[in-house]
Amino acid sequence: LGIHYLGQMHENGMLRIVLDQLTNGQLDWIELDAQFDTVIVGSRQYHLYSGKQRFAETMKKQFPQEHEAIDKFMKLMKTAAKGASLLAVLKMIPLWLSKLLIRTGLIYWISPVFRLAATSHSELLNDLTSNKDLQTVLTYLFYVSIGVPPKDSSFVVNALLLHHYKRGAWYPRGGASEIAFHIIPVIQKAGGAVLVRARVKCILINEDGKASGVTVVKDQEEEKVFAPVVISNAGIFNTYTRLLPQKMQTKPTIQSQLSMVQHGMGSFLVFVGIKGTKEELGLKSTNYWVYKHNDLDELMTSYASLRKEEVADNIPMFFITFPSAKDPTFNERHPGNSCMTILTMAWYEWAEEQVKKRGTDYDDFKMNIANKLIDMAMEIFPQIRDKIEFVEAATPLTNQFYLSAPQGEMCGIEQNLSCFFPEVVATIRAETPVKNLYLSGQDIFSCGLAGALHGGLICTCAVLKRIVYIDLICLKKKKKKKLKWTSKKKEA
């Protein structure tokens, strides 16, 4: 259900190379329309176009008075993108060295990215422009991944999100499940095994206090699996507060890491089945980001202060996407049908209250929000209204059940401003205070598939004690040479 679109999948891009390696080149990525996102602010629409130059040029056309601000933003975005690897380096070098660089202030001499990372997105945008619509367009991806208002989030993570899609947006052919489908054989070929419906109950700790394996529950049976290294991708909260034995959880170093992070935002999704093909319904692969108005800080703050029963009538932002319009295999698999997903933010507490008395009340609450979201989406796509055949809604409880997200988070820990302070960047890393236990995935770097993948790479470097990024850079160079050679041959 996840992965609505991914950026940086252009040929020979680093992310593409990594995913091709992981899937043995078997996963195909379909590029969305050049106009991949539309941002609707009140009654005004803005369009995002892919392309290194076109991205900024088309933005300038839509904001003719704001050329200077856009140029400055693009420059800062480039600084953030270039410097992002240094954030990873801070996690990979020995912790004492990271701390020394931070304490002496040397990191600020090394790159401006560290100061940008610790700057609030709103603060920086307010310095660039007073145009609130432009500020919205330079922030529009924030809530699904970061989950806090722009004033409480880092400029760098917002800029990286925009940069991620600058070259365009892609969708996995056949849908998101194809990602796992094509990675599994690669794992198996390397001698690994993939278990499903096999919950890890706890991490085993030996007499020396080192991680030595896991207890897995499979078909009601518990089995101990011993291993020299345990890598947890279950998130920092699950790993430290649910999987480690109690006596390990209370370690000051573990508690100190936990005090640096917070649970991220939950999501509310509506899945809609529609009669008719994309051609019949006039659907495109473009995604829509809808905002009630252009003050995103205010919008998030007032949304957060709503009482549960006020939510349905006051949804201030949502995202609409048509997975069926992005996937060329969809019509073969579901002839004559289409699907739409609507997404907004949701707080775990709305659902938590209901945990013990879920029933018609809860269903009404849930479907009331779902129907409101559909009504709002129908204002943009009125041609769909009579064609809806199926509706299902998902709440933070869905994420809790299917993703084991402790508080229904959509993207792991909250990517707030303090997460990008150098001390936190350096401390939350693959190595844990428990010997032989490593963390991987989105919580140790950043959210989204790309962020999680870098989390994986950082973890690989730590476990193998090898900078695999160097291997990847060499591979990229080799491929570039080959591409040049092939295109020359074609020309000849």
Ligand X SMILES: Cc1cc2nc3c(=O)[nH]c(=O)nc-3n(C[C@H](O)[C@H](O)[C@H](O)COP(=O)(O)OP(=O)(O)OC[C@H]3O[C@@H](n4cnc5c(N)ncnc54)[C@H](O)[C@@H]3O)c2cc1C
**Rule CB under 6 A: which residues touch ligand X?**
1-6, 199-200, 233-234, 238, 267, 269, 403-404, 410-411, 441-442, 447-450, 452, 455
Q: Is 336 exposed, middle or buried (0-12, 13-18, 19+ CB in 10 A)?
A: exposed
For residues 365 and 350, what is the distance between their CA atoms, to the nearest angstrom?
A: 10
Of 73, 53, 56, 48, which Cα lies nearest the Cα of 131?
A: 73
Cβ proximity to ligand X: between 56 and 450 the closer is 450
Cβ proximity to ligand X: between 7 and 422 the closer is 7
Of 392, 408, 389, which Cα lies nearest the Cα of 400?
A: 408
**Region of residue 175 (left: phi > 0; alpha: psi -120 to 50; beta: else):** left
Cβ proximity to ligand X: between 149 and 451 the closer is 451
Shortest Å distance, C-beta 330 to ligand X: 16
Cβ proximity to ligand X: between 2 and 13 the closer is 2
Shortest Å distance, C-beta 424 to ligand X: 18
For the beta carbon of residue 28, count every other beta carbon within 10 angstroms.
Answer: 15
Cβ proximity to ligand X: between 145 and 337 the closer is 145
Cβ proximity to ligand X: between 419 and 447 the closer is 447
Shortest Å distance, C-beta 326 to ligand X: 11
Long-range contacts (CB closer than 8 Å, 24 or more residues apart) made by 11-18: 11/483, 12/476, 12/479, 12/480, 12/483, 13/167, 14/472, 14/476, 15/450, 15/453, 17/472, 17/475, 17/476, 17/479, 18/453, 18/457, 18/472
Buried b (16+ CB within 10 A) or exposed e, 238-247: bbbebbbeee
For residues 319 and 288, what is the distance between their CA atoms, to the nearest angstrom?
A: 6
Shortest Å distance, C-beta 319 to ligand X: 9
Cβ proximity to ligand X: between 132 and 201 the closer is 201
Shortest Å distance, C-beta 121 to ligand X: 19
Shortest Å distance, C-beta 411 to ligand X: 5
Shortest Å distance, C-beta 6 to ligand X: 5
Shortest Å distance, C-beta 401 to ligand X: 10
Cβ proximity to ligand X: between 3 and 260 the closer is 3
DSSP SS3 for 471: helix
Chain position whose Cβ is nearest to ligand X: 441
CA angle 167, 169, 175 (to 5 degrees): 155
